[in-house]
Amino acid sequence: MINIKENLELNTLNHSCAHLMAQAIKHLYPQAKFWVGPVIDDGFYYDMDLNGAVIKEEDFEKIEKEMKKISKDGKRIVRIEISKQEALEMFKDDEYKIDLINNLPDDQVISAYKQGDYIDLCRGPHVESVKEIKYFKLLKASGAYYKGDCNNKMLQRVYGVCFKTQEDLDKQLYLIEEARKRDHRKLGKELELFMFDESAPGMPYMLPKGLVIYNTLVDFWRKEHNENGYLEFSAPMLNMSSLWKTSGHWDHYKEDMFVMEDADGATQALKPMSCPNAIMVYKNKIRSYKDLPLRFCDVDAIHRNEGSASLHGLLRVRVFHQDDSHNFIRQDQIFDEITSILKMAHHFYNIFGLTFTPYLSTRPDDFMGDIEKWDDAEAKLMEVLDKNFGHDGWVLNPKDGAFYGPKIDLKMQDALGREWQMGTIQLDYQLPERFDITYVDSDGSKVRPVMVHRTIYGSLERFIGLLIEQFAGHFPLWIAPRQVSVLPVNNEYHLQYAKKVYDELKKAGIRVELDDREEKLGYRIRDNQIKKVNYQVVVGDQERDNETVKVRKFDAQEQTTYTLNEFVALLKNEIETKAR
């Protein structure tokens, strides 16, 4: 799926289409007033106040018809520049525009775009003429609080998308529909994987079947990290503000932290990341150069005080579990350590059919520490990327590094071609300095280690959300919460043998369910398909008499008969090889 926001040509076209839609709505709803209408990854939207009227999806056809009429008229789109006072006079009857204008500097030159009888404030750019805006589709309507504040008036938001050709539009609409079917929020509810409750906004409950996926991912992570010399630890959820002041998070990240006072009046904060805790573990004893690299990993819960408007299922939450590791290394180990992390990431992602592109995020404006050390860290990351991916195999992402160091972000492509930010590798010279950590070198001198912050999954909750959409809820057998369902044809005659099959599969470590509901077999088969069960085992007279099982794989019509031992061996092989 194309990221429209990052494609300059499509960004301009969709920005222009947003104005075309607003003009059409103004014709049909003369009382309409408009707030903002930005381009987003998959199209555009406009927030509007219709003074009591409501736009529903059944109204889209008449709006699109009016948009096409305006487009055929072919008016030029003209940019005009006005002063703040002129803008205030031009939009004096529109409280939303007045608010926008009043928040601009007095000497600001303000741009607006005019097309026929419609004009609106906008930075631009736009296409030359409305006749270039031909292939569009309105997608959905929803509510949106003015300025994203629940204390303000609820406005209407209408989404749309626009492309250069009908073919490209049709392709995007197909992918949008596929994304809707795969929406992890919808499937998570249907498959009983997770839930939310208003008593804990942005904090997911992992239901039993969802926790199976979580635990299986962590078990795999734990095994792989143990084999690669990582040491797992766990640390407090709550730390005194002094720790966060030393790390720099208090100055750079406090607004995103949950801050509170303890019973004695001391200020504390729930940890938004684990780096200072890993440093405390490092400082627990004297370290030698022979100890390095030291790799301290954890999957503790971390909390971030995200705004309610940004919350989105499992993909954007306020509490999540991150597969953190903080690796303490010598200067001469930087290249090999980061290369080994990249290889581990490739191994993890490849199992799920995911590929990634590395992005090098460099020094932000609010950086901490010496520029010389930043330059050195960035140069070392560039060297790793060039040698592992070639000069054209990675993307530069200026000024998006962490405040304490540059980083390599691993952005993955899913089954629909969407890009997701998951793993990250950060090279940090600053925190070892601020916490005054050292190791004893071969000559007895104290030397400052380098710190590498890294995640592979990133947020486990977000990774599970991604996997739900990647596999459309039908997980590979090894992580599937519903691996096998056993269905007796008739409970009176076949339930006893079905229970025997169930017991043998359970004994073999298979996640199996016995579906002995008093429903017709066809209904139960369809229901297990909806629940994305990997294998359905149907047992009737023939299977009972021959002590076999008739197996139907998910989304397949054909059935195959096995002995029970053969079927168990097939399942174990598929689980052990982590087949997709």
Choice among 322, 430, 470, 536 that is catalytic:
322
Tokens of 428: 């940090």
The pair of three-digit structure tokens given for residue 7, joined into one six-digit string: 């494609």
Q: Name the amino acid, one letter, at 118.
A: Y
Set 42, 47, 120, 324: catalytic member: 324
Active site residue 114: no
Q: If 0-12 CB within 10 Å is exposed, 13-18 middle and 19+ buried, where does residue 20 land?
A: buried
Catalytic site includes residue 17: no
Q: Supply the DSSP symbol for 77.
A: P
Residue 68 sits at the vertex; the CA angle it makes with 63 and 74, to the nearest 5 degrees, is 135
Confirm if 229 and 294 have CB atoms less than 8 A apart.
no
- Looking at residue 124, its amino acid is G
Determine which one of 97, 271, 316, 407 is catalytic: 407
| Chain Cα centroid distance, residue 468 | 11
Active site residue 304: yes
Q: Is 126 a catalytic residue?
A: no
Active site residue 453: yes
Nearest to 38 by CA among 124, 108, 111, 99: 124
Cα(383)–Cα(448) distance, integer angstroms: 22
Q: Which candidate in 126, 225, 316, 326 is catalytic? A: 326
Count of H-run helices and E-run strands, the chain = 18, 29
Which string of DSSP letters, residue by residue, matches 13-43? Answer: HHHHHHHHHHHHHHHH-TT-EE----EETTE
Q: Going edge to edge, which strands form the sheet with 238-240?
A: 238-240, 267-270, 259-261
What would the two tokens of residue 425 be?
A: 């590798």
- Is 572 in the active site? no
Q: How far apart are CA 95 and CA 99, in angstroms?
A: 6
Distance CA 16, CA 553 (A): 48
Structure tokens at 397: 């992402």
Give dist(CA 407, CA 395) in Å, integer. 12
Outline where 443-520 has alpha helix (H). Answer: 460-470, 491-507
Tokens of 115: 């097309």
| Candidate list 120, 275, 426, 550, residue with the active-site label | 275
- Residue of 26, 271, 363, 453 marked active site: 453
Classify strands 535-539 and 484-488 as parallel, antiparallel or unpaired. parallel
Is 524 an active-site residue? no
Contact call for residues 36 and 47 (beta carbons, < 8 A): yes
Alpha helices of 118-231 — where are they, by DSSP H?
166-182, 184-190, 208-227
Between CA 196 and CA 210 the distance in angstroms is: 13
Residues serving a catalytic function are 275, 304, 322, 324, 326, 407, 453
